[in-house]
Structures are given as C-alpha cells and as structure tokens.
Amino acid sequence: MRCIMNDEAFVELYEKFFPRVYGMVFARLKDIYAADDVVSEIFMKVALNLDSHDEKFAFSTWLYTIARNTLTDYFRRKGRSREDSWDEFFEREAPVNEQPEEKLLASERTKDLLLALDKLNERQRRILELKYWAGFSNVEIAEVMNLSASNVGFIHFQAIKKLRELLAA
C-alpha cells in the first residue's frame, strides 16, 4: 500500500471535506454504520490515489466522483437500488413536549414532502441532494454535474418552485 501524502495534508483535507462527504453518503444510505464504512473507504481511496487528481478540475469534483463511484460499488455489493425511499432520512422524532396533533401534522408534512420529492426528475433531486445534504455551492454542483452554475441555479429554482406547487395542491 503506498502513501503519497503526509499526515498533516491528509488531516487538513479530511477535516475540510468530511462533513460534506458524510452528509452526502448518509443521505443515500440512511444508516450511520454503513455511512461510516463507506466514508472511510472514500478517504482511503483519496489518500491512495491523490496523484491521479487532475489539477484542471477542482479537488471537490474529483472527491465527489470518488464518493459517487464508491457508493455505486456499495449498492452493487449490497444488491440495493440507489433510489431507496426518502422516508427513513426525513423521519424525525418530534420533541417530547409536542402535542399529538402537532406530531401528526409534522408526519403528514414529511410524507407530503417525500411524495413531492419523488415527483421531481433525477437531475432536480440530485441538485437538491448536493445543495442541502452535501452542502455544495452552485459552482461546485456545476463542476460535478457538468453544467453551468447559472443552469444549476435555474434547475434549483425550478425544483423548489415545483415542490411548492406540489405541496400546495
């Protein structure tokens, strides 16, 4: 096993990108233990393959590609579809002090949101995922998805508008 970067550099990269990568992986897996394993695998691949990073592209784009490919490999190994239900991720336990009526309303809103998200196209869902779970900026999303930042902004706007329409109906 070769190591091509010093410990300090790796720690710096890890601390900077871990929250985004972990958020993206957890959003897909909805399992803390599996997410821990996959994120560890992602950063091991980063450490071992840093010399293959093309300087023409942002490091975050390269890292996200490794993350996406590692997730794809994980789902293949597990025989699962990437498009699992959003229910588990959005399900939140209501604070103890909430009234039963409030819990019921929150549950209904969550179900409505999940149904609305399922009605978005794959590109809209992916942009929302990168924006809200991975914390990417429009520029970073554009690099990852091979779009312009303005196009990402427009698709994001369309997705939010469609969600509002679906939730208002």
Q: Is 161 a residue whose pLDDT tops 80? A: yes
Single-letter residue type at 79: G
Assign residue 91 a region (left: φ > 0; alpha: ψ between -120 and 50; beta: otherwise): beta
Would you state the pLDDT for residue 106? Answer: 59
Task: Please give the residue that has the higher pLDDT: either 69 or 7.
Answer: 69
Residue 49 has pLDDT above 50, yes or no: yes
User: What pTM value is reported for the model?
Assistant: 0.53
pLDDT for the residue numbered 5: 52
- Percent of the chain topping pLDDT 70: 78
Instruction: Report whether pLDDT(164) > 80.
Output: yes
pLDDT at 70: 92
Residue 136 DSSP SS3: coil
Residue 85 confidence (pLDDT) above 70: no
Choose among 160, 137, 130: nearest CA to 21. 130
The model's pLDDT over 89-125, given as tens digits with 9 standing for 90+, comes to 444 454 544 555 565 555 666 677 777 878 889 899 8
